[in-house]
Structure 1
């Protein structure tokens, strides 16, 4: 398998990369050359990254800034979340440091417990956004620190949903390091914490099952992964849209995307390719979520011996979420696999490589 990956005959899947990185004693990002600093630099300096690093270094001693009123803070948070939803991750990162500092200022100026709780909830959402932005841009080395701050903020609110979100996000981080058993235990703990049957609880429970499905598939527990998908599908059956509660993007469309991803990770790549191509993605689905589906679909087609269809799927990913597609390491691995599988380099293949900044 190692030889096949080195020769481009097999795709270096995320699970494979995690295993090799663990054996070598290095971070997965180093093995992939991630983040792609030169590609990021094409659009200028990455505004906000240095400031966010400083905030994380300050830890519990964040330097607070004078806050505006709560309505303006809520508007700023909404702008960050909208940027992430619309594949404008650089914009979200640029807004986050000032927002976090001013939310800490709002904590200091709060006069009631209700105000403090509301501010902690907004901080939870801001740290969730920061984790997502860093993952997409290739700075996942910062996510452990971000999740520590999210754990702290979540401990100061009555709503357990943010603690659940933190557990699920940490399970993703552990999965990238190959620690799927621990990651699955965090998924189980998070699912146990979800209270009641409110809309928010249902969304959190469904989101937890989707996370559990991917972690189980990465750990080669196919039956468990399919069981999680079945539970999530039952929850989503009565939904008519992709929910924005807790910024989970949980809904019937996301369930079917994860079903294809499970087959890709641990089941039948051919089924993942065919089912994924046939999916009708809902119009309200977040652009990065849809783009990631087409990235996975491209890998599935390549693993099924269909490099031309893989390139078609990569172009769908590019059209749907160009910023994410250009910066995601799996896209480059898939592109190299397509180049190795095709007997000659076509204009469309070379054009995509040029756009990506990759050399074939």
Structure 2
């Protein structure tokens, strides 16, 4: 089951999130069954950690594909199993994941409080602890930016930037994908969420991502950059950014709901439908 959990995360990292999501329900049921049959506390603690990893991945994939109604129950279950896991870092992860869900409900203050609680729960200076700490700061940065608290957002980005050199490239620990590239991506997103799409678009287009960065992470960056260009009144550049997202992470780009929203915005901004827009829309499965 641990091997299958690693395989699911690897499939997601390779832009096969749809397949990863399809494999999760069976694995989660198997893990719950194993917990029921466990005979020692040590075995149960290990299984609850694996369940925590499963619900971390479930929340991420549901959010990535726009299944927001499934994110809350995934976090509910994560909080439950994390409290019983033998790995205490999942408790911090659960609080940060809850903060991310609350961000979409405009509960910024509660979310930021949970981020701080999560940060306080993290102990140790090894790479996994650093990665979870950095992930928490990045989540706090986006939540603060959405709540129109740019100083708090930039302070979280600064903390994450200080932590990034302490991981080797892009950390796979706990599904965080934390590293220098991820910090740069979030720095651009902060400007977008704080109300400066022009700066976000320019910074996003200029950002040089590490060659080994996870395709879904890079694809999401170009999706955000496309949205920033659209809000800046430059739909042609928005479509260029979407094509870059398509190149690096085709499955995610084709299925992500924000891509469809951006395409609709581009179509509404253009007086005439360009062949490139029509072609992209057809690939996604849209008609204007």
| TM-score band w.r.t. shorter chain | over 0.9
Contact 1:222 1:267 survives alignment (8 Å):
no
Partner of 2:153: 225
Structure 1, residues 173-204: CA drift from partner, whole Å, max 9, x if none? Answer: 11112211211111111111111322222111
When Rg is computed on C-alpha atoms for both structures, the one with the higher figure is 1
Partner of 2:214: 286
Higher relative contact order (CA 8 A, sep 6+): 1
What is the correspondence of 1:37-186 to structure 2 with a 5 Å cutoff?
Answer: 73-186=1-114
Whole-Å Cα distance in 2 between the matches of residues 253 and 230 of structure 1? 14
- Structure 1: 5+ residue stretches without partners: 1-72
1:267 shift after superposition: 4.5
Contact 1:87 1:321 survives alignment (8 Å):
yes
TM-score of the superposed pair, with normalisation by structure 1: 0.76
Structure 1, residues 213-261: CA drift from partner, whole Å, max 9, x if none? Answer: 0000011111110111001001113434010011100100000000000
Contact 2:48 2:86 survives alignment (8 Å):
no
Contact 1:269 1:304 survives alignment (8 Å):
yes
Contact 2:131 2:178 survives alignment (8 Å):
yes
Partner of 1:14: none
- Structure 2: 5+ residue stretches without partners: none
Q: Does structure 1 residue 262 correspond to structure 2 residue 211?
A: no
Whole-Å Cα distance in 1 between the matches of residues 65 and 224 of structure 2? 18
Contact 1:136 1:327 survives alignment (8 Å):
no
Whole-Å Cα distance in 2 between the matches of residues 271 and 119 of structure 1? 45
Among 249, 258, 283, the residue aligned to 1:330? 258
Q: 1:238 to 1:94 in 2, by over 3 A?
A: closer
Contact 2:52 2:85 survives alignment (8 Å):
no
1:352 shift after superposition: 0.9
Partner of 2:127: 199
Whole-Å Cα distance in 1 between the matches of residues 86 and 39 of structure 2? 18
Matched residue pairs, number?
A: 288
RMSD between aligned residues: 1.5
Partner of 1:351: 279
Secondary structure of the residue aligned to 2:178 is coil
Contact 2:127 2:167 survives alignment (8 Å):
no
Whole-Å Cα distance in 2 between the matches of residues 205 and 78 of structure 1? 21
Structure 1, residues 104-147: CA drift from partner, whole Å, max 9, x if none? Answer: 22223333322221111111111111222222333221222221
Q: Which deviates further from its counterpart, 198-207 or 134-143?
A: 134-143
